[in-house]
Amino acid sequence: MAHKNLEEAIRAAKSPVKMLRDSQIGPYAFPVVPSEFTNWRDEQRSWRETCALFDQSHHMTDLLVEGPDALRVFASLGVNTFDNFRVDTAKQFVACNHDGYVIGDAILFHLAPNRFNLVGRPPALNWVQYHVATGGYDAKFERDERSFVNKGQRKSYRYQVQGPNAAKVMQAATGKPMPDIKFFQMSTVDVGGCKVRALRHGMVGQPGWELFGPWAEADTVRNALLEAGAKFGIQRVGARTYPTSTLESGWIPSPLPAVYTGKEMQPYREWLAGTSYEAMASLGGSFVAKNIEDYYLTPYELGYGVFVRFDHEFVGRKALEKLAKKPSRKKVTLAWNGDDVRRTLGTLFSAGRTVAKYIDLPLANYATLPFDKIVKGGKTIGLSTYTGYSFNERSMLSLAVIDEKHAKPGTKVTLLWGEEGGGTSKPTVERHKQIKIRATVGPVPYGDTARTAYRPK
């Protein structure tokens, strides 16, 4: 049953950890897009070998913020600098709570003077919307829910063209070479007779573009891209494959929003609906702490240290100034031991025995917020937060945050897979036993190509 607001939901559940770990909502949804266009192995190969077309029109929420104070709202909440944030540029906006823990991150597009669009999972957007709605700013917002929530149509389509042939595909689709713009800058191009805004991107380690425009033109633009891309091996990527691309590029999509505790955050919790992402999200995995704050992560731990700029006032600044001087856990990629993964899947084929938690391929998350324990020498040394299989690397990979002294590539660690006591009551969890999986620490991004060519600026 839904509560009036997040604060009430937490009170009723007594513990936010328990509330989230027993959530009945399932993993984060990638709706509408078919699960596979060809097969997920070939779809994964396309972003490494030819060109992938991602359809991102459905799984993210858009928050349009407009008005003379719009930039001021973002600057008051973002760890990022807003100096020189011109129209036709974008940035990865990261918002923290007062204690310097990450609430969420999303892509912020500067569309026109005083007009911004924030696109991503709901937590960062909710936090911004709350401030626009209650902060007395001269700005208004318009929210376009992701398709999981929005039963109607989206306002925009959003595609990405990625992979070694992406530039050739874009040239064929627009009839000329793409404008030579820097990472996270935008231009306007013509595709299939439609005006398309293009953000220079590079999600999977190669030059690529994110393209967006009005929903009514979604089919025309997609068909033009597919036609232009056919001879360059463009491959549509289905919903099963899409969310695994980040395993190779290293972005962690699912930090737990740091909103469940703290007196200062209470008015926000009372404002957040009982049906919000924060109230409904499911928390899964072997890492269990009584204190929800043990799940919070800092921008430094998530690899956003380079974004933190003390050139402006923002929520969390004071706390981050202190943290900036301390050692921090580091984001790494874990490559799982193949024999152990095989042993885990193998439990499915032995009659009468308890199975290990099923590893779904290629995306193995079974909660909105996956948190598995990483141990070494009997001690918990970190958290693994996003898990799946990469056909390109022929390996299970997970994105993790671990103690600095164990973060060196090549370090051997152990990940505990599955939940305690046969599993929580989440519907995605069948009764199972926990199993230890050996893993090797690797860099972020993991892919060879990504390691050498991915240069966010």
Partner 1 sequence: MAAPKNFEEVLKRAKNPVDMLRNSQIGAYVYPVVPSEFSNWRSEQAAWRNTAVLFDQSHHMVDIYIEGPDALKLLSKLAINSFNNFPVNRAKQFVPCSYSGHVIGDGILFHLEQNKLVFVGRAPTANWIQFHAETGKYKVKIKKDDRSPGNPKGKAVNRISYRFQIQGPNAWKVIEKLNGGPVPEIKFFFMGTIKIGKKKVRALRHGMAGAPGLEVWGPYKDREEIRDAIVAAGEEFGLKQVGSRAYATNTLESGWIPSPLPAVYTDERMKKYRKWLPANSYEATGGLAGSFVSNNIEDYYVTPYEIGYGPFVKFDHDFIGREALEKIANKPHRQKVTFAWNSDDVDKIFASMFQPGQHYKYIDLPLSNYASASFDKITLKGKTVGASMFAGYSYNERSMLSLGIVDPDIKIGTEVTLVWGEENGGTKKVTVEPHKQLEVRAIVSPVPYSKVARETYAEGWRTTGKA
**Contact residues: partner 1, CB under 8 A:** 26, 32, 34-39, 41-42, 45, 58, 147, 153, 219, 338-339, 341-342, 345-346, 348-353, 355, 358, 361, 366, 389, 391, 394-396, 427-430
Which of 66/340 has CB closer to partner 1?
340
Least Å distance, CB 371 to partner 1, is 19
Least Å distance, CB 135 to partner 1, is 34
Which of 10/429 has CB closer to partner 1?
429
Least Å distance, CB 264 to partner 1, is 38
Least Å distance, CB 41 to partner 1, is 4
Least Å distance, CB 181 to partner 1, is 31
Which of 219/270 has CB closer to partner 1?
219
Which of 87/348 has CB closer to partner 1?
348
407 and 330 Cβ atoms separated by less than 8 Å: yes
Which of 36/88 has CB closer to partner 1?
36
Which of 117/395 has CB closer to partner 1?
395
Least Å distance, CB 39 to partner 1, is 5
Least Å distance, CB 235 to partner 1, is 9
432 phi, psi to nearest 5 deg: -160, 170
Which of 66/393 has CB closer to partner 1?
393
Least Å distance, CB 32 to partner 1, is 5
Which of 222/331 has CB closer to partner 1?
222
